[in-house]
Structure 1
């Protein structure tokens, strides 16, 4: 027995935190566990739904995160759109990107989404669907609309009089693009009038329309998301179709190296409790192109009708303050078979910060991560948040009283778990818990954002 424990001790390495801004425990930004971009949000019947691109560079489908308190989110994968369902004779190779979801005046939900460098439209009675394409198997805006520019990043806006508008467009190869807009017909899937070119100064992509006090704010992103030049600009007009002039204090959200905030952009704006918020993506900590994460901060206005500069935070606004802080009633020491680098220490799996993670070293053929408690505790629930919640997770969750004899609590070695969080509600008395990964490699990277024990 002693030889087994000695072997385990030599294989389990304990790491310490660095002092990188953004890695402090209990940070609330990013608010979503994992790598996602291009967020859109709707609220319905007391719940919030965030739709987002799966990073890196999109996936076969979209992610949709659901929450009742804006602090704890559950991953849903939608029936539509998918790359397979949204491919036409004119489609290009781009994956499923940049959803925009809005509740129509008829109570239905409408999604405008980019697939294959084309704009597709879906409709559903509920934010989680099922979704269907009212145009059958055709895009709403074909890549042939204008081959010199990218037909992506559509966003719908409904004015106070019930009129709806669509804004879209991007550039190619990081050369600035065009912003197109048109009034939508009542079906939200066709146009009621001609398409206009509204392109303001410094426009690359991701248009967002915001109205306040009879002013129309056309917000958008400029720069290159794979480096640190991506940022949020805006222009002001007197009508939803412009013309628009860039504001004097634009851009309002930019990279801040002193805070370790890089390339914020492709956002949306929403209001909650009388306060406006900006929901956007920025790069993970430390910078690893292209792994973007979704954050939220306050959006305010100046007395002369401008949008105030946004101060990006890791702590997050009051809306998300205290997320997960001190939720676990147990104190534990976390160790692992290996760690990829100093930024992926095992303690990051229990620090209540989605900007950090534990990840096993490349070449670790028997990756494990373990929580050791001060004494025997009664565990009734565990929440496991993998780095990539949309991938299948192959592992065995084990428990022990003495650290030498282990028993299986749940076995996902042949039938994988998926989603985020992976919830385990099997009661057990133990002093040690261990996740032992059974299938590793590109399709099952052993890595955790959080492992919560109750």
Structure 2
């Protein structure tokens, strides 16, 4: 009897161990293996060429995912290195859209890269190289797309192409986005002679892939063709992965069981997973996908790449994937030595505490040494210099330091110092004049020290924070695969905030009762506002006001460089809107929408009841509306602030709404316009004053400004 109880106990213990082993870990847990890349990347295509893994992805979190064309590579599937690929521009325009890339190896031993781009038409373009990382040459010198917009039928959106090589050597392409509006995905055969055109292309009937959106991906299991795809909306938690199967690359396809097979998990730590590819390693399958960041950026603009195991029940049935922060076990044994800074004590000059209506979250210094790509240290604001200090506990040999800054494709200027006692510092690596991006940044030396100090001096792009995903320290050197180095940037470091009042416009300062030639800007950038359309001066409620009927005031000075890209700002107005409509009604704008026309490249303050609402960036997915629309025909103090992380709108001193954002404002051809946008969208109402700063006021500052500038109404 005792033996039987012991056996039962051992079985129960073993079962509990299995359950425990399958349990996920906290999203902020040290050593978490998801996300697998340190940075903002989406739509991953994973390949293995030779003994190196490659991840080609959309560079995210700027201008609607229009960052540099980069690739990540690794030998051990643990330590990843980023490289900005050299891809020739179109004859008409430079490439900024590098969307949903895919790559295949041709029978000629060359590598063929395909990606979507909407700068000269939303098409799929092709390139060729002797290596998986370039340099790349166009398949068509005339910029003829491999898959053109409106193919295989008129109006069909040709984006998100993925290619599949069948066992008979034929290559098929699958593509389409917003397909629930456009009649289903498309499939065609790639011409293997040219690798640059599709043949026999048709649409797959919509009912064969229920609830689709984008991102078709074909794979083969046994004799079955598995057409996987993403459904619902990429902007929120509904995004998911589904599949159908067939006996032919062209279908007909039968919807699979267990759909959707990948979805937002219960605690939403894996939020909006989708747009994936699949890695087959021996007999195991792994799904590589993106998910939204935490805390989540508005509209799903900041995504990160993850991996989890995918299991087939049989050749035509996929089990539900369990998305996790834990990720997968080691695929290979790594030759990289232990990181001696892992979980070391850290201190910093400051750290950012995100407090908004949605989140209360700290970007702690300890996150820089936790080997977790979901967490980062971020300074309290976007001023520099900022520093991070690591205490290794005892003096140790230090031969290599690897730093993963927030943005892999923009340079940071910094220095690394070392110390035995934390008081006297010596230079380990001086990158104060660095103009080369990279992740990680690799700095080698040979010293013995207990303390390491990283000081971030400035950044390539305006408004970027001193922010580090991970900093790793090694006592010995090791092989870096490929040893690629990015091209040096020819751009100067970003202009920093002046911390000044840039624009100061007040109707009560104007002499007389009419706008004759122009109005002087009393702010630090100076200049003259000129009138266009119908703008008049009149008395309203006993005070002098601007009456905007169908006109605007435009400043003749360029938008300051401190407001470019992610630059912080505050815009504060005293305003009365007789009728609050659901569109337009722009109080102020300072970006050029015609240059890019992409989300978060455009900034404006609005006063309407629609999705534009308060903070304008493109459409309802990214704009910030008012939670409580300010009452019509009453005076209000409306303030829009952005500190480089959080955008806030205050109405009469009270925080009305907030959202996480990273902007990439296009200002090169922009004007500061009061009462309209660059394409019109005029405000129709009364304004007493407008003030604009190149930094973010806090709530106390906003309240003081409201009291100080409140007009004396009768």
Is residue 445 from structure 1 mapped to residue 465 from structure 2 by the alignment?
Answer: yes
Match of 2:48 in 1: 43
Q: Does 1:280 align with 2:289?
A: yes
Contact 1:87 1:115 in 2 (8 A): no
Write out aligned runs for 1:420-435 (5 A). 420-435=439-454
* Other structure's SS at 1:348 match: helix
Query: Does the C-alpha gap of structure 1 residues 327 and 282 become closer, same or farther in structure 2, counting only changes over 3 Å?
Result: same
Structure 1 position 214 matched with structure 2 position 216:
no
Question: Does the 8 A contact of 2:379 with 2:467 survive in 1?
Answer: yes
The residue aligned with 2:425 is 406
**Structure 1 SS opposite 2:385:** coil
- Contact 2:42–2:59 at 8 Å: present in 1 too? yes
Residue 98 of structure 1 deviates from its aligned partner by 0.4
Q: Corresponding residue for 1:52? A: 57
Please tell me whether residue 242 in structure 1 is matched to residue 251 in structure 2.
yes
Does residue 380 in structure 1 map to residue 399 in structure 2?
Answer: yes
Matches of 1:149 and 1:217 in 2, distance apart? 23
Could you tell me which runs of 5 or more consecutive residues in structure 2 were left unpaired when the two chains were aligned: 1-23, 354-360, 475-714
Q: 2:33 matched to which residue of 1?
A: 28
What is the match of residue 333 of structure 1?
345
Query: 1:152-301, aligned counterparts within 5 Å?
Result: 152-171=159-178, 178-186=184-192, 187-199=194-206, 200-258=209-267, 260-288=269-297, 289-301=300-312
Match of 2:129 among 101, 104, 124: 124
Q: How many residues align?
A: 430
| Structure 2 Cα separation of the partners of residues 194 and 404 of structure 1 | 69
Residue 27 of structure 1 contacts residue 352 of structure 1 at CA under 8 Å; is this kept in 2?
A: yes
Note the C-alpha offset of 1:78.
Answer: 1.0
1:33 touches 1:449 (CA, 8 Å); kept in 2? yes
* CA distance in 2 between partners of 1:60 and 1:332 (Å): 33
Structure 1 residue 259: deviation in Å? 5.5
Stretch of structure 1 that moved more, 54-63 or 200-209: 54-63
3-state DSSP of counterpart to 1:135: coil
Q: Which residue of 2 aligns with 1:113?
A: 115
Q: Which residue of 1 aligns with 2:409?
A: 390
How do residues 51-70 of structure 1 correspond to structure 2 at under 5 angstroms?
51-56=56-61, 57-70=64-77
1:142 aligns with 2:151: no
What is the SS of the residue equivalent to 1:152? coil
Report whether the alignment pairs 1:371 with 2:390: yes
SS in 2 for 1:381: strand
Higher mean alpha-carbon deviation, 365-374 vs 93-102, is at 93-102
How big is each residue's C-alpha offset from its partner over 1:310-339, in whole Å with a ceiling of 9 and x where there is no partner? 111211122459989992235731011111
Contact preservation (8 Å) 2:256, 2:316: no
Deviations 1:202-254 (A, max 9, x none): 11100000111211111000122221111001111121011112223211000
Greater Rg over alpha carbons, structure: 2
Q: Is the 8 A contact 1:279 1:294 kept in 2?
A: yes
Change (3 A) 1:176 1:251: farther
Q: How far 1:405 moved relative to its partner?
A: 2.6
In the aligned structure 2, how far is the partner of 1:370 from the partner of 1:191?
Answer: 55
CA distance 1:181–1:219, shift in 2 (3 Å): same
The aligned counterpart of 1:11 is none
- Of 147-156 and 225-234, deviating more is 147-156
* TM-aligned CA deviation for residue 404 of structure 1: 2.5
CA contact (8 A) 1:237 1:245 kept: yes
Q: CA separation of 1:439/1:26 partners in 2, compared to 1, >3 Å: closer, same or farther?
A: same
> Under a length normalisation based on structure 2, what TM-score does the superposition of the two structures give?
0.57
Question: 1:444 offset after TM fit, Å?
Answer: 4.0
Quick check: 2:411–2:437 contact (8 Å CA) kept in 1?
yes
Equivalent residue number for residue 5 of structure 2: none
SS of residue matched to 1:251 = coil
1:365-419 C-alpha deviation (Å, 9 max, x unpaired): 4311111232332211111111111110111212223323323222222223421
CA distance in 2, matches of 1:39, 1:450: 21
Q: How much has 1:264 moved relative to structure 2? A: 0.5
- Helix, strand or coil: the match of 2:312? coil
1:104 corresponds in structure 2 to 106
Q: What's the CA shift for 1:159?
A: 0.9
Structure 1: where are the runs of 5+ without partners?
1-18
Determine which of 329, 351, 360 is the counterpart of 1:318.
Answer: 329
Please provide the CA RMSD for this pair: 2.6
Alpha-carbon contact 1:338-1:361 (below 8 Å) kept: yes
1:151 to 155, 158, 171: 158
Q: Partners in 2 of 1:203 and 1:108 — Cα distance?
A: 33
Is 2:237–2:272's contact at 8 Å kept on the other side of the alignment? yes
Per the alignment, in what secondary structure is the counterpart of residue 28 of structure 1?
coil
Q: Deviations over 1:2-25 (max 9, x none)?
A: xxxxxxxxxxxxxxxxx9931101
The alpha carbon displacement at 1:65 in A equals 0.8
SS in 2 for 1:349: helix
Q: Which moved more, 1:316-325 or 1:176-185?
A: 316-325
Alignment of 1:341-380 (within 5 A): 341=353, 342-380=361-399
Alpha-carbon deviations, 1:37-95, whole Å to 9, x = none? 11112212211111111012333531111111111111111112x6xx14769x9x972
Is the contact between residue 107 and residue 125 of structure 1 (CA under 8 Å) also seen in structure 2?
yes
> How far is 1:114 from its partner?
0.5
> How big is each residue's C-alpha offset from its partner over 1:129-167, in whole Å with a ceiling of 9 and x where there is no partner?
222121122222233546644321000111111111111
Q: Is the 8 A contact 2:55 2:71 kept in 1?
A: yes
Most deviating of 245-254 and 349-358: 245-254
CA distance in 1, matches of 2:334, 2:237: 28
Q: Is the 8 A contact 1:348 1:356 kept in 2?
A: yes
